[in-house]
Structure 1
Amino acid sequence: MAQVLIVDDAAFMRMQLKNIFTSLGHEVVGEAENGKQAAEMYKNLQPDLVSMDITMPEMNGVEATKEIKSEDDQATIVMCSAMGQQQMVLDAIKAGAKDFIVKPFTEERVKETLDKLFQ
């Protein structure tokens, strides 16, 4: 079971992800609505996994990934992107994200990604 920090500026997306992670047996330990909040919460919570939206106000997912990885190079971050954000996903992977999930999320796709990360 992983402890997860969910980062997305849309409350309904956080809720959807929370339901998926919970039904897969993981514990959601925090929710952030922008990258700045995510970086601060990461320090306090030290979660096993961060699901990181790419496009957010204040600090986007790529910047937040860089900030978290500079604090903890072992951080496991999965980007959540809409279609057509390939360049930002590539930037995020270069910044240290481990994988990405394309919206709309399915439980199956999230499970596949987690199985890959935590095998």
Structure 2
Amino acid sequence: MNDRVLVVEDSAFQRARIRECLEPTFEVVASVGDGDAAVDAYREHDPDAVTMDFALPGRDGPAATAAIVADDPDAVVVFCSCVAQQAQFKRAIRAGAADYVRKPFDEETLVTALRGP
């Protein structure tokens, strides 16, 4: 089970919303607003799972995911984004994402995706 989660989202409002949805079930170890900070926070906090936005300042979500997965091939990264084009979804999966939850998301869907297989 994935109990410790890193939230990566460039919108402060969405970061707070995701955190609020997750905190009854998970420990949110950090929340950051750009791709470079995501990679650094992953290395620092070693979370069990990550929620990842697609469009981020600096490294975008797929680039940050690829760096995280390069460091930890067992990383569980779940994209949580409003980007819904098939090409973007495929890019996220190729980068190593475990799942993709589209915004606006249902809290239960996000929790289930983060719990992993």
Query: Fold conserved (TM > 0.5)?
Result: yes
Structure-2-length-normalised TM-score: 0.92
Mind listing any 5+ residue stretches in structure 1 that lack a counterpart? none
Task: Provide runs of 4+ in structure 1 moved above 6 Å.
Answer: none
The 5 Å alignment of 1:1-119 reads 2-23=3-24, 25-115=25-115, 117-118=116-117
Are the equivalent residues in 2 in contact too, given 1:52–1:77 (CA < 8 A)?
yes
Separation in structure 2 between the aligned mates of residue 65 and residue 114 of structure 1, nearest angstrom: 15
Letter in structure 2 aligned against 1:19: E
| Identity level (%) | 36
Matched position secondary structure for 1:36: helix
Matched position secondary structure for 1:9: coil
Matched position secondary structure for 1:4: strand
Are the equivalent residues in 2 in contact too, given 1:4–1:26 (CA < 8 A)?
yes
Separation in structure 2 between the aligned mates of residue 34 and residue 58 of structure 1, nearest angstrom: 6
How much does 1:30 deviate? 0.2
Q: How many residues in Structure 1 have an aligned counterpart in Structure 2? A: 116
RMSD: 1.4
Are the equivalent residues in 2 in contact too, given 1:81–1:89 (CA < 8 A)?
no
| C-alpha distance 96-3 of structure 1, shift in aligned 2 (>3 A) | same
Separation in structure 1 between the aligned mates of residue 36 and residue 82 of structure 2, nearest angstrom: 20
Structure-1-length-normalised TM-score: 0.90
